Structure 1
Amino acid sequence: MRGDGDGWVVCDAGHRHWGRFGAAGLLLRHGGAVLLAHRVWWSHHGETWGIPGGARNSDETAREAALREAVEETGVDPAHVRLTDETVDEHGGWSYVTVHGRLETAEPPALEPTDGEATELRWTPVDEVGDLPLHPGFAQFWASADAVDRLL
């Protein structure tokens, strides 16, 4: 479903970003693993790994947008997701919010991409995430020890 947030904008630093009202993604943890999506080749920074997410709509909080995008892209049951924290990457006039969450189920479900934006979903052990070719924005987030420490 297309929302009013879909569209490209230019931040104060002159960089082009997706999401007229910013963007948000869900870093979903289950035990010692996080859910990652392998982005399709034609997408912005295609063939990299990142988290489910996308443009925020004008009437959404970052948490609402991140959860909506994760449900749309993965089919994860939102009733089992507990949102715990968030990290904001501010670009001046545009921001990306990484919403941290925990999946509260006995076992992580086998999830398949549901909207064509990813070719694969994977529960990736935290200590293996950095070994993957990561989306540049997610790589910068992941390199921040403070951000990753909050997951554990």
Structure 2
Amino acid sequence: MAELPLRDRAGNVLLAVRRVAESDLPPVPASLVVVVHAGAVLMMFDRHREQWELPGGIREPGETARETAARELAEETGIDDVVLTFAVVAEFDLTRPVRRELLAIYRTELATAPRLTLSEEGLGFRWWSPREPVDPDMSPLDAEIAARATT
């Protein structure tokens, strides 16, 4: 695992990844999902940021962090009806706009490889092992979160 804080090419910084009880999770603006199959993590290539990232996104009004994770996972990958386990909370300093933000990170482990469906946000999928190096076109922040959420 990398030493924190960890910075990406846009200047965003992953400050901390902490284990907390889901009941102690403060309101968060977004959730990410670490999907694990055969020891590898599902990454999707984001059309706008042009990098491999974890599936997830922004919370809609009235949603819980868990509901956001489930909805975003289904919208971005076609994966639905899976058991999501709250894993960690990640703390960031983000650049656009400048802000400090907490994100809820959920995890699901799949026994069989899912049939994946692209959304308008993604250009592709890949399975990445946290034991592999982080490619230059992968978010080092998301890779670090995935590595920490799978151990």
**Shorter chain as normaliser: what TM range?**
0.5 to 0.7
Partner of 2:106: 100
Partner of 2:15: none
Corresponding residue to 2:31 among 24, 31, 38:
24
| Residue 69 in structure 1 maps to residue 72 in structure 2 | yes
Aligned equivalents of 1:72, 1:150: Cα separation in 2 = 22
- Structure 1 residue 93: deviation in Å? 6.5
| Closer/same/farther in 2, CA of residues 132 and 93 from structure 1, 3 Å limit | closer
| Closer/same/farther in 2, CA of residues 124 and 90 from structure 1, 3 Å limit | closer
| Residue 57 in structure 1 maps to residue 63 in structure 2 | no
SS of residue paired to 1:108 = coil
Aligned equivalents of 1:129, 1:108: Cα separation in 2 = 22
* Structure with higher helix content: 1
- Structure 1 residue 85: deviation in Å? 1.1
What per-residue deviation string (whole Å, max 9, x for no partner) do you get for residues 34-92 of structure 1?
Answer: 1100011xx1x2x2010111111121222211121010111012x23332412232559
Identity %: 28
SS of residue paired to 2:134 = helix
Aligned equivalents of 1:129, 1:119: Cα separation in 2 = 21
Q: Is the 8 A contact 2:36 2:110 kept in 1?
A: no
Which consecutive residues of structure 1, in runs of 5 or more, have no partner in the other structure?
A: 1-14, 16-20
Corresponding residue to 1:82 among 81, 84, 104:
84
SS of residue paired to 1:142 = helix
Q: Is the 8 A contact 2:54 2:142 kept in 1?
A: no
Corresponding residue to 1:126 among 127, 130, 138:
130
| Closer/same/farther in 2, CA of residues 49 and 30 from structure 1, 3 Å limit | same
Aligned equivalents of 1:29, 1:72: Cα separation in 2 = 18
Q: Is the 8 A contact 1:27 1:100 kept in 2?
A: yes
Aligned equivalents of 1:119, 1:141: Cα separation in 2 = 17
Partner of 2:141: 140
Count residues with an aligned counterpart. 121
The CA RMSD over aligned residues, in Å, is: 2.7
- Structure 1 residue 108: deviation in Å? 1.4
| Closer/same/farther in 2, CA of residues 96 and 118 from structure 1, 3 Å limit | farther
What per-residue deviation string (whole Å, max 9, x for no partner) do you get for residues 93-121 of structure 1?
Answer: 6624242312333x2123131x2100101
* Structure with higher strand content: 2
| Closer/same/farther in 2, CA of residues 95 and 64 from structure 1, 3 Å limit | farther
Q: Is the 8 A contact 2:43 2:126 kept in 1?
A: yes
| Closer/same/farther in 2, CA of residues 48 and 90 from structure 1, 3 Å limit | closer
